[in-house]
Structure 1
């Protein structure tokens, strides 16, 4: 008799499917809505990034327990720990950007005829 797929595995599959759907929909959003979505996704506490960081961190704790009992190679635990630390650092690095994204996504549409000046993305230095 085949074992049914556990609820948590089905849930992970569904979340992955929905993230794919969000990614597909994201490219068609107007700029203000796209920034609103990004602000929510990147929120280090309540957003997808924060929740994923927490999941990887919890996975690291479980992997440590399994590694200590010899059920899992220690490299898996160490890799998950490093990944959790990197994700946490990424969230910390992005935190100042979130307020800008949130302000941009909630400001009213510009009523002036003059479009905003583009910001240079590459700074060139003279020799």
Structure 2
């Protein structure tokens, strides 16, 4: 008889499914609403990115204890630690833009959107 899937595994699967749904919906939202969602996602205190970073950090602490006991290879702990550091750095980089995202997302949409001038996003190399 197979063992039932633990609640925490089902919870992780459900969160992953909902993140996929959020990404799918974000792709079709009007810019104003999409910006509101993105601002919430990158919020370091209460956002998705902060939550994932915290989850990976806790996973790293667990892996460290397990590696010290011989239950996991040390490389697993090191990889989770690096992932935590990278996610934290990404969160710091995005945090400087959070206020802009919130401001744009909170702006009322009573007047028609004015087209903004496009920003050059490609940097060409000089040879």
| TM-score higher than 0.5 | yes
Q: TM-score, normalised by structure 1?
A: 0.91
In structure 2, distance between residues paired with 1:124 and 1:10: 47
Residue 61 (structure 1) aligns with: 61
Give the 3 Å change call, closer, same or farther, for CA 7–126 of structure 1 in structure 2: closer
SS of equivalent to 1:71: coil
Kindly report the root-mean-square deviation, in angstroms, between the aligned alpha carbons of the 2 structures.
2.0
Residue 120 (structure 1) aligns with: 120
In structure 1, distance between residues paired with 2:110 and 2:116: 9
Q: TM-score, normalised by structure 2?
A: 0.91
Residue 93 (structure 2) aligns with: 93
Count of aligned pairs: 127
Q: Which runs of 5+ in 1 are unaligned?
A: none
Shift of 1:113: 7.8
Give the 3 Å change call, closer, same or farther, for CA 125–75 of structure 1 in structure 2: closer
Residue 70 (structure 1) aligns with: 70
Aligned structure 1 segments of 4 or more residues deviating by more than 6 angstroms: none
Shift of 1:119: 2.3
Q: Which runs of 5+ in 2 are unaligned?
A: none
